[in-house]
């Protein structure tokens, strides 16, 4: 019950009631990415995404980002040629335990302090 109320009245839990109704009447499902996000378009050339879990804009892969921002009119296909040097898309991890921590940072696993200068003797 609480899950339904959160979805109805807050925008950061997938979609609001207005987005749900607009998607129901005017949305045409165009695809789904590997994160489970669903992409829609309308006859009036609007494009939007409904996230699988909490809204995080960095969860949109590059191909879908191009489509949703009108950089490309072609829908991304699942069998895009990937090179060996290409990495899988990862959302922005800032503020999480998986965030990048520089060597020497107090939060890194191996905090090491190195002076940038030599003191006089």
Q: What are the pLDDT digits (tens) for 79-101?
A: 777 888 988 888 888 888 888 88
When pLDDT is averaged across residues 60-74 and rounded to a whole number, the result is 90
When pLDDT is averaged across residues 27-54 and rounded to a whole number, the result is 91
State how far the alpha carbon of 77 is from the alpha carbons of 4, 24, 33, 56, 85, in Å: 33, 24, 10, 22, 20
Going from N- to C-terminal start, the domains of the chain cover 2-68
Residue 6 has pLDDT above 80, yes or no: no
* Nearest of 79, 77, 56 to residue 66 by alpha carbon: 77
Q: Give the H or E element holding residue 21.
A: helix 17-26
Q: Which pLDDT value is given to residue 47?
A: 93
Distance CA 52, CA 56 (A): 10
Residue 41 has pLDDT above 90, yes or no: yes
Count of beta carbons in the 10 Å neighbourhood of residue 64: 24
The b-or-e profile of 74-87 (16+ CB within 10 A means b, else e) is: eebeeeeeeeeeee
Q: Which pLDDT value is given to residue 20?
A: 83
pTM: predicted TM-score of the whole model, two decimal places:
0.71
């Amino acid at each position: 019950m609480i899950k339904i109320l959160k979805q109805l009245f807050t925008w950061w839990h997938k979609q609001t009631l207005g987005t749900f109704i607009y998607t129901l009447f005017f949305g045409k499902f165009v695809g789904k990415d590997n994160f489970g996000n669903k992409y829609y378009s309308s006859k009036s050339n609007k494009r939007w995404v409904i996230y699988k879990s909490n809204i995080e804009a960095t969860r949109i892969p590059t191909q879908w980002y191009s489509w949703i921002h009108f950089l490309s009119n072609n829908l991304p296909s699942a069998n895009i040629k990937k090179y060996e040097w290409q990495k899988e898309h990862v959302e922005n991890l800032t503020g999480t335990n998986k965030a990048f921590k520089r060597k020497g940072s107090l939060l890194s696993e191996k905090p090491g302090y190195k002076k940038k200068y030599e003191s006089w003797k």
